[in-house]
Amino acid sequence: MSEQAALFEPQFLKQLDRLALLTRRNIAGQMQGERRSPRRGSSVEYADFKPYTPGDDFRQIDWNLYARLEKFFLKLFVAEEEITLHLLIDTSASMDWGEPNKLRYAAQAAGALGYIALASLDRAQVTSFGGGNEQRIPAGRGRAGVPPLFNLLSQLKGNGNTSLLQASRRYVQTARVAGPLLLCSDLLTPDWEEALRTLGRRPFEITVLHVLSPDELNPPFEGDLKLLDAEGGEALDISADLDLLQRYVERLQAWREEVEHFCTTRGINYIFVDTSLPLESLLISVLRERQIVR
């Protein structure tokens, strides 16, 4: 519980209990759960009729229909299964920056969604990648999965340079089942486009949480400066006058629009987050509005 307290206040968790994860389509799971699956199963909700063929379970034959038509039909019901929520968190050094800290904010957002999923008897699998050090906890299920989830999230630290593309490729190859996927990243890497394209190759229902801090949106710079890249990139000399800062803001806006356009055209949910936005507002207002939760 101490890890929970580190990420959230108990009061906040009670608010999360009232939320549920939404998916845009039915997703097949591995075990029975509480979500409609594209498969036919044994729930009480009628789905369809199917002509009997040898080998079918004769216990599902609809005898009333046989009495009327003198043909065997199977009565099918909707299957209810669990889903697996994939939480991908960018833990590169660039994420561990800003005030409020971007990595902390991303961990809280992922933790909140993970908690919502686990509380709904779904699965939540967390993977962090940064500096070549990938951490993953197996998909937990139910509230029993909450402590390990929060434990991992609260211990995340920014580290080194990250190839978002490589991490995405690896994840696509190793993920066992598809499902909703939340990518928390600042996307401050040249290969963000290819990385998102790679994730789109599996039938994940992708949501990109684009996290930037206020200081990145409006840099408080003035004068002649040497900019040091937190991820160890090449240092940059600038003369931060109003003109340069204005052009930076314009460039940042254009880049955000570019990312959003890319996501929209590929069915990816794009949510831009300024870390000065309270987490409650993100979950209750923004994610509800974007129909990620309800």
Partner 1 sequence: MGFIAPLMFIAGGTVLAGIVAMYILRLRREERTVSSTFLWNQLVRDVEANAPWQRLRHNWLLWLQLLIALLLAFAIARPFRETVGVSGQNLIVIIDRSASMGATDVEANRLEAAKNEAIRLVDQLPDGARATIMAIGGELDVPAAATTDRREIRDAIEGIELRLGGGSDMSQALSLAGALAAREEESEVAILTDGQVTVPMSATLPAKIRYFPVGSSNNNQAIAAIALNELAPGTLTFFARVTNQGQERVTRRLLVTLDGTLFNAYDLEILPGQDQTVNIDVPSTASTVEARLDGSDSLPSDDVAWAIRPSSDAIPVRFVTPGNRFLATALGLMPRVQVSAYLTETATFTDTALLTILDASLPEPLPPGNLLFIAPYRSTEYFSVTGSLDRPVPRPAPTDDPLLRNVELGEVNILKSARIENAPWAHTVIDSAAGPLLIAGEVDGRRIAVLGFDTHDSDLPLNISFPLLIANLVGYLAPGTGGDSAILPPDQELAFAVTNDISGVRLIQPNGETHEATPNNGLISFDGSLLKQAGIYSVELLNDGVVARSQRYVVNAYRESEAKITPVQVLDVAQIGGGQVGSSETTQAKAGREEWWRWLALAALIFVLIEWVFAQRSALTRLKLWWNARRSAA
Residue 6 interacting with partner 1 (CB under 8 A): no
Binding characters for partner 1, 199-218, by CB under 8 A (x = yes):
--------------x--x--
Shortest Cβ 228–partner 1 spacing (Å): 5
Pairwise CA distance, residues 96 & 211, whole Å: 11
Q: How far is the CB of 132 from partner 1 (least distance, A)?
A: 17
12 or 221, CB closer to partner 1? 221
Instruction: Name which of 48, 117, 116, 119 is nearest 79 in CA terms.
Output: 48
| End-to-end CA, the chain | 26
Residue among 4 and 92 whose Cβ is closer to partner 1: 92
Q: Could you give the C-alpha distances from 24 to 21, 108, 207, 266, in angstroms and in order?
A: 10, 23, 12, 14
| Interatomic CA distance for residues 293 and 82, integer angstroms | 16
CA distance linking residue 23 with residue 91, whole number of Å: 26
**Best CA proximity match to 201, nearest among 170, 240, 236, 163:** 170
Whether 69 and 109 have beta carbons less than 8 Å apart is answered as no
Would you count residue 188 as binding partner 1 (CB under 8 A)?
yes
Q: Report which of 269, 288, 260 is spatially closest to residue 112, judged by C-alpha positions.
A: 288
In the complex, least distance from residue 158 CB atom to partner 1, rounded to whole angstroms: 9
Using rule CB under 8 A, residue 33 touches partner 1: no
Q: Which of 244, 257, 278, 281 binds partner 1 (CB under 8 A)?
A: 244
Q: In this chain, which stretch among 6-14, 44-52, 175-183, 246-254 interacts with partner 1, using CB under 8 A?
A: 246-254
- Helix, strand or coil, per DSSP, at residue 117: helix
DSSP state of 186: -
User: Residues 81 to 110: which contact partner 1 by CB under 8 A?
Assistant: 93-95, 97-98, 102
Min dist. Cβ of residue 109 to partner 1 (A): 18
Task: Kindly tell me which of 133 and 239 has the beta carbon lying closer to partner 1.
Answer: 239
CB of 226 to partner 1, least distance (A): 4
Q: According to the binding rule CB under 8 A, does residue 258 interact with partner 1?
A: no
Contact 66, 73 (CB under 8 A): yes
The footprint of partner 1 (CB under 8 A) covers 93-95, 97-98, 102, 186, 188-190, 213, 216, 219, 221-231, 233-239, 241-242, 244-245, 247-248, 251-252, 255
